[in-house]
Amino acid sequence: MSDTFTHRPIRVAVVGAGPAGVYASDILVKAQAKHDLRFSIDLFDRYPAPFGLIRYGVAPDHPRIKGIIKALHKVMDRGDIRLLGNVAIGTDLTLEDLRRHYDAVIFATGAIKDAALDIPGVELEGSFGAADFVSWYDGHPDYPREWPLEAEKIAVIGNGNVALDVARVLSKHAEDLLSTEIPENVYQGLQASPATDVHVFGRRGPAQVKFTPLELRELSHSRDVDIVLYEEDFEFDDASDEAIRSNNQIKTMVNTLTNWLVEQEERAEEASKRLHLHFLHRPVEILEGRDEDGAGTGKVAGIRFERMELDGTGNVRGTGEFLDYEVQAVYRAVGYFGSEVKGIPFDHQRGVIVNEAGRVLDDDGHHIPGTYATGWIKRGPVGLIGHTKGDAMETIECLIADADRLPEAEQPEENAVIELLESRGVEYTTWEGWLKLDEHEVQLGQQATTAGPVERERVKVVPREEMVRISRA
């Protein structure tokens, strides 16, 4: 152990205040006594409010997942982790600034961009990334307040939880979202949407879907929305049968889907909206509309798929049969992709910081001293919240093992970074500021409850400048 760290705490900057960043900070705090170490932790975020993807990447009608915020809130409310929000790493603070003020830096910046879908027509008007749409309906401060909801028939490409979230929000009646924290501009936009049919397309079969039983069951809770399935999509091979026998989660989802298929034949009356689930469809091309003269309109008019079949291993192969669907909008929910951090080696194929067990590596494969990664920016956008906690544990174990080799910060005083931010005019926010904003949003919900038809838990504040003003009041 460095003699320096016997006289002062090890200063650690954690970049990203979502679950990955909060978990890493919490594990560091709890590791102090066991390892006879002291840590002083600053948790940075580019947004004025904490909690990352839980605040800006989870559908508003997910109360159980939103409950994770309560656990994260409890960690931050202890007061042993300092939050510095509304600080952009790369502009407000550079990587060199972090290295000057901290002995170690942990990147927990997540993945917020849409993964690419390389098919013709993806650039047409009416073709959207699901991650962008999620950011809009979650009131992300850096996204426009309006969204072009003009389509009656919509295609959602993907068979993961995000695809089902997007489809559920698009097909739901807007007033049924009023009991959530949905921002007012989002409610108004969804209320005016003419959507009647939302189609979700997956490339593989019902036994290979990537969503969870909870997500699937939530589809049936939407009022006045019929779930429509197609018998020809229910194909199972040997690998599917084995998965159903050996995996209770897959068995539950297949049973649910099969029951819905049977029940739709007995449906007494039709709802005003429909949510269609399709399997064994590979997207080939987004089709452009044509005007009376045959010229392209630049807008989405349909989407073409190749019909797939299972090959016996649970994977699929093309049949050579192509199907066209008339839609006016396409949402691509084929995964998230990490964003590069300037000055940090990045794997452009996987969308992650180059690392081994959380230690960031240089171009020669050597650990960059004092530099670490955790969460989706470390392992890619896979796994649920529980995986994020285990992931953070691995990274922190590496940092602790390196404690006697960490490069010592030139300006480790806790107030030094605050003085730097203030000298640059950065309007940073704090945990105390979040408590103010949190209280303000709850009060807006109470006011809306008094004036409106339903009880509202809160109304989310969207404009960044308003969030900062309330937080710093």
CATH code for the domain in which residue 369 is found? 3.40.50.720
Instruction: From 429, 447, 466, give the residue that closes a domain.
Output: 429
Helix axes 184-191 and 130-137, enclosed angle (nearest 10): 120
Nearest C-alpha neighbor of 230 from the set 200, 270, 209: 200
Overall number of domains in the chain: 2
Q: Say if residue 297 is in the same domain as residue 415.
A: no
Mean pLDDT for 219-237 is 94
- Do 86 and 157 fall within a single domain? no
Same domain, 274 and 344: no
User: What is the distance between the terminal CA atoms of the chain, rounded to a whole angstrom?
Assistant: 43
Q: Are 123 and 328 in contact (CB under 8 A)?
A: no
Question: Mean pLDDT in the chain?
Answer: 94
**For residues 165 and 51, what is the distance between their CA atoms, to the nearest angstrom?**
19
The residues, ordered by sequence, that sit 6+ positions from 326 with a Cβ below 8 Å of its Cβ are 153, 301, 302
Q: Is 89 exposed, middle or buried (0-12, 13-18, 19+ CB in 10 A)?
A: buried
In this structure, which long-range contacts are made by residues 287-294, counting pairs with CB atoms below 8 Å and at least 24 apart in sequence?
287/121, 287/324, 288/121, 288/124
pLDDT tens-digit series, residues 47-90: 999 999 889 988 888 867 767 888 999 999 999 999 999 999 99
Is there a domain that residue 436 lies in? no
Whether 182 and 329 map to the same domain: the answer is yes
pLDDT tens digits, 122-162: 999 999 999 999 999 999 999 999 999 999 999 999 999 99
**Residue 146 shares a structural domain with residue 274:** yes
pLDDT band at 1 (very low <50, low <70, confident <90, very high): low
- Whether residue 244 lies inside any domain: the answer is yes
Query: Do 107 and 164 reside in the same domain of the chain?
Result: no
| C-alpha–C-alpha distance, residues 434 and 76, integer Å | 11
Report the distance separating Cα 351 and Cα 115, nearest Å. 9
Q: What is the DSSP code string of 418-429?
A: HHHHHHTT---B
- The per-residue pLDDT for range 231-288, each reduced to its tens digit, is 999 999 999 999 999 999 999 999 999 999 999 988 878 899 999 999 999 999 999 9
The model's pLDDT over 378-401, given as tens digits with 9 standing for 90+, comes to 999 887 677 789 899 999 999 999
Q: Is residue 350 a contact partner of residue 377, using CB atoms and an 8 Å limit? A: no
Residue found by looking up tokens 């010229």 in the block: 295
Alpha carbon 147 to its chain centroid, in Å, reads 19
Return the CA Rg of the chain: 24
- Which pLDDT does position 197 carry in this prediction? 98
Same domain (yes/no): 344, 321: no
Residue 104 located in a structural domain: yes
Range(s) of the domain holding residue 166: 113-336
Residue where a domain stops, chosen among 336, 352, 383: 336
Is residue 465 domain-resident?
no
